[in-house]
Structure 1
Amino acid sequence: MSVELTALTLAAILQYVQFVMYAVPANLELGSGYTMSARDRAPSKTLSDKTARLGRAFDNHFQGLILFAIAVLVTELSGQHSGLTALCATIYLFARVAYIPAYALGWRPWRSVIWMIGFGATFVMLVAALL
């Protein structure tokens, strides 16, 4: 398996890990009565800041993962593997791992810097596939 596909697979596994990191405290804080309901109403309790941030980091990774998956797909199907695309895939994965505590702990401006590194690595992969 290529480095790019390996990074994509690990990024997908990371999404599962992020779900657990968010869902466990959210269930504890909101109670199973709400989390197992149809959620037609807003919860009567609020999430802690950290848990809410974990939820936003989880949602944010879905957005980044779509673009990263496209970049890997284009790289794979076009046969444009290179040291650069492998490096970008690795950078994306490490940035996404670093983004979780950066967001959960409210690291400013580092959360945004880390996000931009992963986003930029994905962009470079796409451009490299075109060249």
Structure 2
Amino acid sequence: MTPELTALALSGLLLLVQLCWMAVRANLELGSEYFLTPRDTPLPKAPSTGTQRLKRAYENHLEALLPFAIAVFVVTLAGAGTGLTAACAWLYLAARVLYVPAYLYGWVPWRSVFFGLALLATGLMLVAALLGNSPNG
């Protein structure tokens, strides 16, 4: 497996860990009764700030994962993997891992720094694939 695909697989696992962490915390705070319903009514009470932050960090990762997956697929299918694209994939993963505690604990400005690093890594992978893939093969 290429480094880019490995980082993508680990990013998927990170997403699942985030989902489970958020769900367990919400169930402990609010009780499981509400979460067993079709959720047609509002929450019985507001989740804690930490749980709300975990939810937003999860949603942000979900949104960031699609462009990263596209970059990994383009690099992989084009055979354009290089040391740079591998480093960018690992940078993306590291930044996304660090983003979770940065969001949860309100680390300013680090949350935004980690978000920006992951975004930059994704963009660089796409640009590297486009520049490294000549139309003549």
Q: Shift of residue 20 of structure 1? A: 1.1
Matched positions, count: 131
Using the aligned pairs only, state the percent identity.
54
Residue 89 of structure 2 is matched in structure 1 by 89
Q: Shift of residue 33 of structure 1? A: 1.2
Residue 121 of structure 1 is matched in structure 2 by 121
1:13-24 alignment runs, 5 A limit: 13-24=13-24
**Alpha-carbon distance in 2 for matches of 1:21, 1:100:** 11
Q: Shift of residue 108 of structure 1? A: 1.3
Decide whether the 8 Å contact of 1:95 with 1:117 is kept in 2: yes
**Alpha-carbon distance in 1 for matches of 2:48, 2:76:** 41
Decide whether the 8 Å contact of 1:5 with 1:72 is kept in 2: yes
Q: Shift of residue 93 of structure 1? A: 0.2
1:35-114 alignment runs, 5 A limit: 35-114=35-114
Decide whether the 8 Å contact of 1:15 with 1:61 is kept in 2: yes
Could you tell which deviates more after superposition, 33-42 or 63-72? Answer: 33-42
User: Which runs of 4 or more aligned residues in structure 1 lie more than 3 Å from their structure 2 counterparts after TM superposition?
Assistant: none
Structure number with larger C-alpha Rg: 2
Could you tell which deviates more after superposition, 105-114 or 92-101? Answer: 105-114
Give TM-score scaled by structure 1 length: 0.98
* Structure 1 SS opposite 2:38: coil
* Consecutive unaligned residues in structure 2, runs of 5 or more: 132-137
* Structure 1 SS opposite 2:116: helix
